[in-house]
């Protein structure tokens, strides 16, 4: 897999929201910014660095990309194109597999916090609108 290396320059778009592709990326060097766009507003979801990964959602569920990913500085990536390749990679790299589980659990916890915050916000609005 390490011979499959892509390089991006600062500000270059790696993933565009809405695109249909299944590739998952692992950062070998550099930093990437994951963001959403709502009209002219850009919402930065995360900045991830060397040793981390992104793009796994589309790899697993074959849905369009949900966010944009841009290079912050020079970035070097390797990639995995399908679940079979990912399984083989994880078997050979158990430390990365453990790290991946930890990262995914943290991302899920963060999503749960955001969702709970929005539910509470909606409930507050409903309560104040009844008064």
Q: How many residues does the chain have?
A: 131
2 pLDDT tier (thresholds 50, 70, 90): low
The residue written with tokens 């507050």 in the block is 124
Can you give the residue ranges of every domain in the chain? 1-92, 94-131
Instruction: Tell me the CATH number for domain 1-92.
Output: 2.60.120.10
Please check whether residue 12 is in contact with residue 69, taking contact to mean a CB–CB distance below 8 angstroms.
Answer: no
Region for 122 from its dihedrals, namely left if φ exceeds 0, alpha if ψ lies in -120 to 50, beta otherwise: alpha
pLDDT higher than threshold 80 for residue 1 = no
Per-residue pLDDT, 27: 97
- Per-residue pLDDT of 5-25, as tens digits, reads 999 999 999 999 999 999 999
* Global confidence as pTM: 0.81
């Amino acid at each position: 897999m390490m011979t499959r290396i892509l390089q991006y320059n600062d500000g270059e778009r790696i993933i565009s929201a809405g695109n249909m592709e299944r590739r998952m990326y692992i950062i070998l060097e550099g930093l990437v910014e994951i963001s959403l766009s709502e009209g002219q507003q850009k919402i930065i979801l995360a900045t991830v660095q060397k040793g981390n990964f992104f793009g796994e959602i589309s790899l697993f569920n074959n849905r369009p990309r949900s966010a944009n990913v841009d290079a912050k500085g020079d970035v070097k990536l390797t990639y995995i194109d399908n679940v079979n390749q990912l399984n083989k990679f994880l078997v050979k790299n158990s430390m990365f597999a453990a790290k991946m589980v930890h990262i995914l659990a943290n991302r899920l916890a963060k999503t749960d916090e955001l969702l709970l915050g929005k539910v509470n916000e909606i409930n507050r609005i409903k309560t104040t609108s009844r008064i």
